[in-house]
Amino acid sequence: MNHSSPQPTPQTLPRHLAVIMDGNGRWAQAQGLPRIAGHRQGAKTVDMVTMECARLGIEALTLYSFSSENWKRPAEEVDFLMALCKEHLVEQRSRMVDNDIRFRRIGRRAGLPDEVLEESDACEEATRDCGGMTLSLALNYGSRAELADVARSMAEDAAAGRLDPRDIDESMVTTRLDTAGLPDPDLLLRTAGEMRISNFLLWQISYAELVVTDVLWPAFEISDLHQAFTDFSGRTRRFGLIDPSPGSETAAKGP
């Protein structure tokens, strides 16, 4: 989809962009191709979006790659997705280092193939000292599971006497999430027109702006990304405050 859109400026950009990448299967079906062709084309979109976000100076990019519910898909498709993930991590490791991108995997380790864990660990190690954008890939991720894991860890610490339950607050929960150390997403983008969150970063996106585009992920282009940033920059982010009067600074505009 080719269309012009205003070029992003630092004032219009989010600090943290989270993306639900949807529409790979529908794109492939529309092209008369098998679903796996959509996933492979979608991986190319991942590279494009990652490099553009890094170029623009965005602090963090989190991509919903494989949810804990995606294991219900046909075994052949799941096997392909795992193989594609491993291949992609191997191919992009040096590129991430060259572009100062720090890699992070979020989601439960249990259940992921050893080769995927090995390559994701290798990417994290290779990019550990990178100081640019943090790219988080959500693999075997589900937000409810993440929050349950946080609750379990606090309960274990309390039972062992390492934590006073009265000290539990929102900041403590935040430090135990998979995204600890990153700012919360201020923009959640979903492709393919679906109007749901799909168990993604439920705690972290409490105050995120939502942008949904009808563009399928494999067809998503830089101009579509820029348009999402333009939509984001037009929002008034009140964080519970009232609408500001003209010239007032009681609400945040944009990021």
**Is residue 196's pLDDT more than 60?**
yes
Residues identified as active-site: 22, 70
Mean pLDDT across 116-135: 98
pLDDT score, position 215: 98
Complete domains list, the chain, with CATH: 15-142+185-234 (3.40.1180.10)
CA atoms within 13 Å, Cβ hemisphere of 148:
8
Q: Can you give the pTM of this predicted structure? A: 0.90
pLDDT score, position 87: 97
Q: How far apart are CA 30 and CA 158, in angstroms?
A: 53
Q: Which residue has the higher pLDDT, 3 or 30?
A: 30
The strand pairing partners of 252, in sequence order, are: 237
pLDDT score, position 223: 96
Mean pLDDT across 212-231: 97
Q: Helix, strand or coil for residue 154?
A: helix
Nearest of 57, 91, 70, 54 to residue 20 by alpha carbon: 70
For residue 241, what pLDDT band results from cuts at 50, 70 and 90?
Answer: low
The percent of residues above 90 in pLDDT, for the chain, comes to 87
pLDDT score, position 185: 98
